[in-house]
Amino acid sequence: MVQTSVTPRTVLITGGNRGIGFAIAEEFIAQGHRVAVTARSGEGPAGSLTVRADVTDADSIDAAFTEIERELGPVEVVVANAGITKDTLLMRMTEDDFDSVVNTNLGGAFRVVKRASKGMLKARFGRVVLISSVVGLYGGPGQVNYSASKAGLVGMARSITRELGARGITANVVAPGFIETDMTAELPDATQAEYKKSIPAGRFATPAEVAKAVAWLAGDDAGYISGAVIPVDGGLGMGH
């Protein structure tokens, strides 16, 4: 994907202290944007503004936005990336396993996008990117909670598109497959090899490959793309 023009924007990425969120922040910084990340601990990459926020707490999100607006201006691009897993088989899944994953992954995106929409409506411009997963539409054993939360993001992006599309606001979903993060590095070699067999690309992706897709969706060239689900999964989820 070739970025032909870049208008500097104020960008917020939730969960930007590590993993995919950190890589997304690095990509936006490299493209010359003003970048803020939320983190409960640690820091975003050099060149970003790190603000403390817990996506399960609307007040802490509001305080983070107020700080970003003061330091960098109104948020024009929001990337809802913060997420957790609590995998276990359906029969063993507790109410808390279900609620906490949905509250963080889906509720967190709702709270952040709702707060961001204030400024976006005023500016009549906004880019919303929700980080889902191949598992959202493909499903995964032991992931009833996670998969439901990630599928919910698709309905959220499409409803935002229908509600705010005429105001210059787009909302899209990026659905990563297996990404080289601490989580996948910890898998035994045999398990990694087994997973790779099912991926047409035959490998896991780097976090930077996810970041490129996110930045492109937020960029000037993607203004007519909304309500889309963009897989970054090496072909794993084709057709889902």
Binding site for ligand NDP (CB under 6 A): 14-15, 17-21, 38-41, 54-56, 81-84, 104, 131, 133, 176, 178-179, 181, 183-184
For residue 118, the tally of other CB atoms under 10 A from its CB is: 14
What contacts 2, CB < 8 A, 6 or more positions away?
none
- In whole angstroms, the minimum distance from the beta carbon of 84 to ligand NDP comes to 5
- In whole angstroms, the minimum distance from the beta carbon of 44 to ligand NDP comes to 9
Distance of alpha carbon 164 from alpha carbon 182, whole angstroms: 36
Spatial strand order of the sheet with 10-13 comes to 49-52, 34-39, 10-13, 77-80, 126-131, 169-176, 229-232
- In whole angstroms, the minimum distance from the beta carbon of 64 to ligand NDP comes to 10
23 and 35 Cβ atoms separated by less than 8 Å: no
Q: Which two tokens stand for residue 208?
A: 């930077």
| CB-nearer residue toward ligand NDP: 4 or 41 | 41
Distance of alpha carbon 81 from alpha carbon 12, whole angstroms: 10
Distance of alpha carbon 203 from alpha carbon 117, whole angstroms: 37
- In whole angstroms, the minimum distance from the beta carbon of 179 to ligand NDP comes to 4
Q: Which of 138, 146, 195, 224 is catalytic?
A: 146
| CB-nearer residue toward ligand NDP: 38 or 170 | 38
| CB-nearer residue toward ligand NDP: 154 or 179 | 179
| CB-nearer residue toward ligand NDP: 18 or 118 | 18
| CB-nearer residue toward ligand NDP: 98 or 125 | 98
For residue 42, the tally of other CB atoms under 10 A from its CB is: 11
Q: Please say if 146 is a catalytic residue.
A: yes
Cβ-proximal residue to ligand NDP, closest one = 19
- In whole angstroms, the minimum distance from the beta carbon of 206 to ligand NDP comes to 11
Closest CA to 103 of 87, 120, 88, 82: 82
> Which sequence positions are flagged as catalytic?
146
